[in-house]
């Protein structure tokens, strides 16, 4: 049987969840024995080259590019996992939801913020190459179907490891209390 194929991405996240994946330390050597990686920042494969078994999503969706990537993951992966609080709930970026408008966000970032020191024409970037900011930050399951959720900010490396091993081997997941943390 060929090895299961994993893809990962970070949307509106901080890459902390990916750091936590790397926190499995030397077990990464075992992981490489168990699985093959496809599109992922870990191996720097930029686009899907084949259909995958497991897609791991870090971060929620704050712009149109996130939506596009997430939908591509859904099309190419049999199972999708929301990894961490931003993917599960929108997380920290979602603090702007229902509080400030997109306009206020952009104005604060590009016009009013104390660190803006060189924008004499008061330009808010509008190049057509840029993604569009969404009206609010969405958790992934409000965009596509998500099969599993792993909580934590970031989730413990042991939680990620246990979950992947359980998923790959089909054995029950080991979920000791210390491993499941929501903060």
Partner 1 sequence: MSPLINIFKKKSSTSNVQSIIDKYNKDQTRLMDILIDIQAEIGYISNESASLIANQLKISKVDVEQTLSFYHFFSQKETGKYTIYLNDSAVAEMMGRNEVAKAFEEAAGSKFGEVTKDGKIGLFNTSCIGMNDQEPAAIINGVIFTRITPYRAKEIIQDMKNGKAVNEMGLQSFGDGNNSSNYIQSMVSNNIRRKGPVIFSDYNLGKSIKKIVNMKPTDVIRDVKASNVRGRGGAGFPTGMKWEFCRNAAGDQRYIFCNADEGEPGTFKDRVILTELPKLIFEGMTVAGYAVGATEGILYLRYEYKYLQKYLEQVLEELKTANLLGTNIGGKNGFNFNIRIQFGAGAYVCGEESALIESAEGKRGEPRDRPPFPVEQGYLNKPTVVNNVETLCSVVKIITEGPNWYKSFGTKDSAGTKVLSISGDCMNPGIYEIEWGFNINDILKMVGANDVQAVQVGGPSGALIAPTEFDRILCYSDLSTGGSIIIFNSKRDLLKNVVLNFMDFFIEESCGSCVPCRCLTVLFREKLLKILKGNGVMQDIDDMISWGPTMLSNRCGLGHTAANPILTSIKNFRPLYESKIQQNKLFDSGFNLQEAIAECCEATGRQPIL
Contacts with partner 1, residue ranges (CB under 8 A): 64, 67, 101-103, 106, 124-126, 128, 132-136, 138, 141-145
What is the rounded distance in angstroms from the CA atom of residue 75 to the CA atom of residue 65? 15
Contact 82, 139 (CB under 8 A): yes
Which pair of tokens denotes residue 67?
Answer: 């939506």
First to last CA, the chain: 38
Q: How far is the CB of 118 from partner 1 (least distance, A)?
A: 19
Beta strand 61-63 with 133-138 is antiparallel
Neighbours of 11 (CB within 10 A): 24
For partner 1, the closer CB: 67 or 179? 67
Q: How far is the CB of 151 from partner 1 (least distance, A)?
A: 17
Upstream peptide bond of 5 is cis (omega within 30 degrees of 0): no
Q: How far is the CB of 17 from partner 1 (least distance, A)?
A: 22
For partner 1, the closer CB: 146 or 154? 146
Residues 6+ apart with CB under 8 A from 97: 90, 136, 137
3-class DSSP state of 80: strand
Q: How far is the CB of 100 from partner 1 (least distance, A)?
A: 11
For partner 1, the closer CB: 50 or 125? 125
For partner 1, the closer CB: 138 or 161? 138
For partner 1, the closer CB: 88 or 136? 136
Q: How far is the CB of 115 from partner 1 (least distance, A)?
A: 20
Longest C-alpha distance within the chain, in Å? Answer: 61
């Amino acid at each position: 049987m060929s090895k299961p194929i994993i893809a990962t991405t970070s949307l509106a996240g901080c890459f902390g969840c990916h750091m936590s994946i790397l926190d499995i330390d030397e077990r990464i050597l075992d992981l490489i024995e168990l699985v093959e990686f496809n599109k992922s920042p870990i191996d720097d494969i930029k686009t899907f080259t084949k259909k995958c078994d497991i897609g791991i999503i870090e971060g929620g969706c704050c712009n149109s590019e996130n939506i596009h990537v997430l939908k591509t993951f859904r099309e190419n992966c049999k199972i999708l996992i929301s990894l961490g609080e931003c993917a599960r709930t929108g997380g920290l970026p979602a603090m702007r939801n229902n509080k400030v408008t997109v306009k206020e966000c952009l104005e604060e970032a590009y016009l009013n913020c104390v660190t803006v020191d060189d924008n004499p024409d008061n330009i808010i970037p509008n190049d057509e190459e840029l993604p569009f900011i969404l009206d609010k930050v969405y958790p992934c399951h409000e965009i596509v179907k998500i099969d599993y959720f792993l909580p934590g900010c970031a989730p413990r490396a042991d939680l990620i490891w246990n979950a992947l091993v359980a998923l790959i081997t089909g054995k029950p997941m080991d979920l000791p209390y210390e491993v499941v943390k929501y903060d």
